[in-house]
Amino acid sequence: LRDFLLVYNRMTELCFRHCVCNLNYRLLTGREETCLDRCAGKLVRSNHRLMGAYVALIPAVLQRRAADYEASAATAAPAA
C-alpha cells in the first residue's frame, strides 16, 4: 500500500506540474483537464507494462536466489 501511495503521489505531482499553469481559478480549464487525463493515463499504462515485466521476471529471480542459498548452505555445512 505504501509503494502504491508513493507512485500515486509522484504521478499526481508530475502531472500537476506539467499540466496546471494557472492557479488563479478555482476550477481546471478544459485544456488542463485534458492534459491531466492524458498524463495520468500514460503513467498508468507505463506502470502496468512495468508491473507485467516485473511479474514475468520474479520466478527466475526467486529460482536464482534459492539456488544461491542452497549453494551457500552446502558450502557452509561441515563435512562429515
CATH code for the domain in which residue 7 is found? 1.10.287.810
Q: What is the pLDDT of residue 80?
A: 52
Q: Decide if 49 is inside a domain.
A: yes
Show the domain range for 39.
1-74
Q: Decide if 79 is inside a domain.
A: no
Q: What is the pLDDT of residue 7?
A: 86
Q: ∠7-15-1 over CA atoms, to 5°? A: 15
Q: What is the pLDDT of residue 36?
A: 96
User: How many structural domains comprise the chain?
Assistant: 1
For residue 67 the three cell numbers come to 539456488
Would the pTM count as exceeding 0.75? no
Q: Decide if 31 is inside a domain.
A: yes
Identify the segments of the chain with pLDDT beneath 50.
Answer: none
8 A C-beta contact, residue 43 and residue 14: yes
